[in-house]
A and B are shown apart, each in its own frame.
Chain A
Amino acid sequence: MNPLIPLFVVVPLAGAFLIMILGRFIRDFHKYFTSLVLLFLVILSFYSLFNSDGNVSVYKVGGWEPVNRIPIGIYMVMDGFTLILLCIVNLIGFLSVFYSISYISRYTSENFFYALFCLMIAGMNGVVLSGDIFNIFVFLEISAISSYALVAFGVEKNELEATFKYQVLGGLASFMILFGIGFIYWKTKTLNIADIKTALGTGNDKYYYLFVQILILSGFGLKAAIIPFHAWLPDAHSSAPSPISAMLSGVLIKAVGIYVIFRLFFNMFILTEAMAVLITTLGTLSMVVGVFLAIGQWDIKRLLAYHSISQMGYVVMSVGIGMILISRGVNDKIATLAVAGGLFHLINHAAFKGLLFLNAGAIEYSTGTRDLKEMGGLSRSMPFTSATSFIASLSISGVPPFNGFFSKLIIIIAAIMAKFYLLAALAVIVSIITLASFLKFQRYAFYNKTQEKVKGDIKEVPFPMIFSMVILSVMCLLLSLLAFPGIREAVLSPAIEILTDPGRYSFQIIGF
């Protein structure tokens, strides 16, 4: 059993409570300690990524071995899909903490910020590492409650209203997830994901499981902000402080929304064509509606939040195409390509959306406003911010040689090869409209004449913020290398195999 697996959860949890105790005595302890903790987690996750060789590691908490080949006890599972998400969560977390060393000094009681941040990271690590559904629920709640508090951090009117809406809808989602878990337990009498798959394979209640699948899709879809469950996202992501917006939009909706949907639908339920078509439809709707709602926005962060909905629609649509092909039982190669495109776009979106939110935070730090009509001409006074923002805007619009181009290309090719011509056409149109929206953002923020309100002394932002933004823009260039065969085998292929191969997950964990 790999001894590194519980460290991903224990280290940030212990760090959060140590910050609360020692932060009162030692000055500036919280900033550097949190950066060290997250740097340790980044090193650990990349080491596990390059050392795993595509195997599945299982950790049985408490040492309870299976009795009569039935798993008792809580399992923590680390396979290819988990490793990708662990690397994304910890890397974007580390860069956000480094950015917030200088950004959060404008708020009071910084102790609580870093402690809540560590708790959120511990919750997200726990969700992606757990092998049983109730554990997913517990860690999901830990990270969700920390994010409610972090969204309301600077307690102004807008932030409190945004977090109230977020909390009521989040509570509704948690209730639906708990209800779904109850229904699953009633029929299968077990909570382990691999064991549920074995128990479901012999059952006959089709309509019961259809109801359970709809409940689980609604609950986690609310957390992942798919249409029609997106109502909390624009308010919450635009009112939060900028490093928290980067974490929420770049990591949280992926790790607790999209990851769990894919894990449960590929590895636990038996895929039917009806559910696959439903998921693909929801993804396409998110893609289209998100970008049309984003065109008319003049507030930077609301614009970026609506674009998050649209890009998540790309991911869900692409993996949905893979699900349709698998449920029909044909065309394994095209299904693998579609799932690969979706996962690649997931990784890319974390990088460039995180960078865009950090840029918006830098603009707000220097000029004090978030409205596009009130700023202009920033490319002369803020060179680093303007260069990294240009790179991020080109990435999200799908311009070569940045990473967005390769992942969108794979998605469109997979849609055409599977004969879904309407979806491919919609993907191209949405990409063009995204390009138009970001050209508007670049022009009004950086290349216009400077407006009246922000004339004055606009300096470049301090060093920690520049460091995070530059590292993320370098990642935007490097991630495009993931499309090439050598690196793809090491990183993406284990994840795709574990998702699309029907018996492999449960075979590796419980042996049949």
Chain B
Amino acid sequence: MKGMTIIVKKTTQLIAGLVFLYGIYIIIHGHLTPGGGFAGGVILAGSFILQILAFGSEFTHLLKEETGSTFYENMAILVVLFLAVSGLLFGLKVFFLNWVPQGTPGEIISAGMLPLYNIFVGIEVAASILTIFLALVIFKEEISK
């Protein structure tokens, strides 16, 4: 598909990096403010989708299959499962235990393992929403040919 007009392209060049940064901020402060893994992941995916929509698929050289984003999605989920199973090794030996020492409430590095879960769930959600979008766009191109 073709890209959009030059006003949209210039605005996207200015804003896409800031949207990405905002997504990372929401993910990392997930245990202090509302948001967390899922909402931050959607915003991260939003910045990529904005660039694809604004510049068009010929410019960004979309491939026939969405292999790259699928790889990140699967790796992130395996890391989340591995972190959950690692609770079986320490302390009480249950699934999903919060075994990292918890600091004082209100700091960024506190609440044990929650920031780690938030980060990996954020990567996973961003990759999977990007995969859904790419699958639909690539399929639409096949129809219109």
A in complex with B:
yes
A14 to B95, Cβ gap below 8 A?
no
Q: Report the minimum CB–CB distance from A446 to chain B (whole Å).
A: 42
Tell whether A63 pairs with B97 under 8 Å between CB atoms, given A17-B74, A20-B74.
Answer: yes
A14 to B81, Cβ gap below 8 A?
yes
Closest chain A residue to B91, Cβ basis: A63
Interface residues on B, range: 20 to 34
Q: Report the minimum CB–CB distance from A62 to chain B (whole Å).
A: 5
Task: Select which of A14, A59, A60 is within 8 A of B78 by beta carbon.
Answer: A14
A20 to B78, CA, bound (A): 11
Taking CB atoms, residues of chain B closer than 8 Å to A24 are: 67
B94 to A62, Cβ gap below 8 A?
yes
| Count: A-B pairs, CB below 8 Å | 40
Identify which of residues 54-92 in chain A touch chain B, using a CB-to-CB cut-off of 8 Å: 59-63
Identify which of residues 287-316 in chain A touch chain B, using a CB-to-CB cut-off of 8 Å: none
Judge whether B14 is part of the interface by a CB distance below 8 angstroms.
no
B96 to A3, Cβ gap below 8 A?
no
Q: Report the minimum CB–CB distance from B98 to chain A (whole Å).
A: 7
Closest chain B residue to A60, Cβ basis: B94
Identify which of residues 64-96 in chain B touch chain A, using a CB-to-CB cut-off of 8 Å: 67, 70-71, 74-75, 77-78, 81, 84-85, 87-88, 91-96
Taking CB atoms, residues of chain B closer than 8 Å to A59 are: 94-95
Closest chain A residue to B94, Cβ basis: A63
Judge whether A1 is part of the interface by a CB distance below 8 angstroms.
yes
Taking CB atoms, residues of chain B closer than 8 Å to A21 are: 71, 74-75, 78
Taking CB atoms, residues of chain A closer than 8 Å to B96 are: 61-62
Judge whether A383 is part of the interface by a CB distance below 8 angstroms.
no
Taking CB atoms, residues of chain B closer than 8 Å to A18 are: 74, 78
Taking CB atoms, residues of chain B closer than 8 Å to A1 are: 94
The 8 A CB mask of A304-335 against B (1 = contact, 0 = none) is 00000000000000000000000000000000
Taking CB atoms, residues of chain B closer than 8 Å to A61 are: 94-96
Judge whether A13 is part of the interface by a CB distance below 8 angstroms.
yes
A17 to B94, Cβ gap below 8 A?
no
The 10 closest A-B pairs by CB, nearest first: A63-B94, A6-B95, A63-B92, A17-B74, A62-B96, A21-B74, A20-B74, A17-B77, A14-B81, A63-B97
Query: 17 A-B contacts, Cβ less than 8 Å apart?
Result: A3-B88, A10-B84, A10-B85, A13-B81, A14-B81, A18-B74, A20-B70, A20-B74, A21-B74, A59-B94, A59-B95, A60-B94, A62-B87, A62-B95, A62-B96, A63-B91, A63-B92
Given contact pairs A6-B95, A18-B74, A62-B96, a sample of 19 additional A-B residue pairs in the complex whose CB atoms are under 8 Å apart: A1-B94, A3-B88, A3-B93, A10-B81, A10-B85, A10-B95, A13-B81, A14-B78, A17-B74, A17-B77, A17-B78, A17-B81, A21-B71, A61-B94, A61-B96, A62-B95, A62-B97, A62-B98, A63-B91
